[in-house]
Amino acid sequence: MDISVIVPLYNEAESLPELEAWIARVMEENKFSYEILFINDGSTDESWEVVKRLKEHNPNVKGVSFRRNYGKSPALNTGFARAKGDVVITMDADLQDSPDEIPELYRMITEDKYDLVSGWKQKRYDPLSKTIPTKLFNATARKVSGIKNLHDFNCGLKAYRRKVVKHIEVYGDMHRYIPYLAKSAGFTRIGEKVVQHQARKYGKTKFGLDRFVNGYLDLATLWFTAKFGVKPMHFFGLLGSLMFILGFISVAVVGGMKLYNMYSGNAYSLVTDSPYFYLSLVLMILGTQLFLTGFVGELVVRNSPRRNDYEIEEELDIEK
């Protein structure tokens, strides 16, 4: 099969017939073999009934319906697990992503040999309250991930080589950082295509401003797991050791100053009267706790069944 189109949806009953017809037209014009996977994320409207009706008229339509709303990342992960196409396309169900982009995305994966191609809605039909935070968010994501050529990490319109979606796990709200997940899994050929942004035709957006706060927290999680996920002691142990040493030196300085004043006949006070003494103790305690956190993290990693689960691209015949 050439293409799997994955469409996560939540309360998009009005747009689904138009979207399905649009995708089918593009596929037939380009003679692609395809499937459309509608992942119903616990919709409370008639979305799932619409999907079942579409299936009756188009055997290429497939679907999964969650019992309740889980979020876009679980919907995408479920679609990835079931996709059979050589190229996997993801797009939103609200008609803001144009299926006319599919042939070129397919070409970039199959001919230009990209692992992943992300859309960039260079011209957006969104208010400033959404576009400005989005620009800041993407600038931060580029800096942290090291993927300098992407302008829009969170664009729903993306194309993947099949092997990519089978080797990454999208969970929580990590759909915003799928390019970073792919890079961390060793898929480094990541490209970008300017795509058309359609104005929303039906309903209203399902995302609020809280996604930007959550997005930064998720980015911090990804950065840490990518850099220190299999060696937590390198982070916690180093930071804890530095804090402990700094606290110990501070305690030594406070105690040394008292001893100096005692033997020099100068006025002196108890070390416990100095606020620096307590700050030093706090540093030593925090340093010890961080070091032990790294130690416990190492024990967890050591006992993980996936500690030596490495992604192998190719292997020649090797005697074992």
In the chain, the amino acid numbered 11 is N
Rounded to an integer, the average pLDDT of 196-202 is 71
Q: How far apart are CA 50 and CA 254, in angstroms?
A: 74
Task: Output the average pLDDT for the chain.
Answer: 87
Pair (246, 171) in one structural domain: no
Of these ranges, 158-172, 204-218, 226-240, 299-313, the one predicted with the greatest mean pLDDT is: 158-172
Confidence of residue 271 (pLDDT cuts 50, 70, 90): confident
Q: How far apart are CA 184 and CA 178, in angstroms?
A: 10
Pair (68, 214) in one structural domain: yes
Pair (212, 269) in one structural domain: no
Q: Percent of the chain having pLDDT more than 90?
A: 56
Q: Tell whether 308 is covered by a domain.
A: no
**Domain count of the fold of the chain:** 2
Q: For position 133, what pLDDT does the model report?
A: 74
216: containing domain? 3-228
Q: How far apart are CA 291 and CA 304, in angstroms?
A: 20
Q: How far apart are CA 177 and CA 73, in angstroms?
A: 10
Q: How far apart are CA 242 and CA 252, in angstroms?
A: 15
Pair (254, 125) in one structural domain: no
Tens digits of residue pLDDT in 204-256: 665 555 666 777 778 888 888 788 877 888 899 999 999 999 999 988 888 88
Pair (195, 256) in one structural domain: no
Indicate if the pLDDT at residue 308 is higher than 90.
Answer: no
Q: Tell whether 172 is covered by a domain.
A: yes
Pair (157, 279) in one structural domain: no
Higher-confidence residue: 187 or 211? 187
Tens digits of residue pLDDT in 25-49: 999 999 999 999 999 999 999 999 9
Pair (184, 146) in one structural domain: yes
Rounded to an integer, the average pLDDT of 51-67 is 96
Q: For position 297, what pLDDT does the model report?
A: 86
Q: For position 174, what pLDDT does the model report?
A: 87
Q: For position 123, what pLDDT does the model report?
A: 75
Looking up residue 40, the CATH number of its domain turns out to be: 3.90.550.10
Pair (154, 267) in one structural domain: no
Q: For position 14, what pLDDT does the model report?
A: 93
Pair (148, 219) in one structural domain: yes
Q: Tell whether 315 is covered by a domain.
A: no
Tens digits of residue pLDDT in 115-145: 999 999 887 666 666 667 778 888 888 998 9
Pair (29, 73) in one structural domain: yes
Residues 49, 16 contacting (CB under 8 angstroms): no
Indicate if the pLDDT at residue 85 is higher than 60.
Answer: yes
Side-chain-side CA neighbours of residue 297 (13 Å): 18
In the structure encoding, which two tokens stand for residue 141, read together?
A: 């994501």
Confidence of residue 274 (pLDDT cuts 50, 70, 90): confident
Q: For position 307, what pLDDT does the model report?
A: 62
pTM of the complete model: 0.77
Lowest mean pLDDT among 22-31, 71-80, 256-265, 310-319: 310-319
Pair (184, 295) in one structural domain: no
Residues 48, 65 contacting (CB under 8 angstroms): yes
